[in-house]
Amino acid sequence: MQRAEAARSALLTSLPDAHVDLLHLDVGSAQSVLAAAQEVKARYNRIDFLYLNAGIMPNPQLNVKAFFKGLFSRNVINMFATAEGLLTQQDLLNSDGLQEVFATNLFGHFLLIRELEPLLCEADHASRIVWTSSSNARRSAFSMEDIQHRNGTEPYSSSKYASDMLSLALNRHKNSQGLFSSVICPGLVMTNLTYGILPSFFWTIIMPIMWLIRIFTNTFTLTPYNGAEALHWLFLQKPESLDPRAKYHSLTSGLGTNYTQPHPMDIDEGMSEDLYSELLELEKVVRKILSERNADKEANGQRE
């Protein structure tokens, strides 16, 4: 909340007439999601835009040998852009018994959407969902037999590919109710998440190389401001004009010009529908667990 207060103060400094509300929400906790959604429904009677930007990549492990091999190869740009073959993560279970990355990057957002449907799905009013995905979202990292990626080592990539598929399914099910979903990729952005992948001295060595490579590629947006280009661009578009099968990429030219470009997503419609059904079933299970947990708390409180 301290970071949120600081962001709010900065916004109000540049836009003093704006109205900025804060809300505490941990998308990695189903209980927090449901509580926050109730507060949103108490405060507002509609939602125009819902930006789903929160995500985690816990305990990233770098394949150092593959990194240095790729650094001096023709594949260097794709290596930095996608991190394919470079990163693995050690995932944990959260308090709801779900894999933490899956819960935070995908399921918590899905549960939030479901809970806010009364404000999002109005036939006479278009609402928009915008997912922040990644160039690291790869079909090869995802399995319908293991949607939480319990048995894999790339939960981040799996969760981001799943969010791409979920966006497509949401459009298929909810467009007729006035809800439209889009996906963006911010490009390679240097954030706390990125810096946490390597020791600081590595970045001191690598950053000059990355700025040099940026002259020859448009995917190295590098700064959060540049990476947010597609988020802003989508805000200005009519939802009916957007392609539900496209991922909208933030791009920065070698001269520093920002622009947005759609790229087709490698998604199977049948698989996206299966994922949507699986998430609906998981939602029922999680709600039942939370209900039983709350009932136990009330019973214990009465005994006390």
Identified catalytic residue from 156, 195, 225, 276? 156
**Residue type at position 172:** R
Distances (CA, A) of 223 to 189, 228, 256: 5, 9, 11
CA angle, corner 118, sides to 114 and 122, nearest 5?
Answer: 115
Q: Pull the structure tokens for residue 56.
A: 């985690």
Q: Is 225 a catalytic residue?
A: no
Q: Which residues pair with 125 in a beta bridge?
A: 122
> Under a CB-based contact definition with an 8 Å cutoff, are residues 254 and 235 in contact?
no
List the structure tokens of 197. 């992948």
What's the maximum distance between 2 C-alpha atoms anywhere in the chain? 69
Active-site amino acid positions: 156
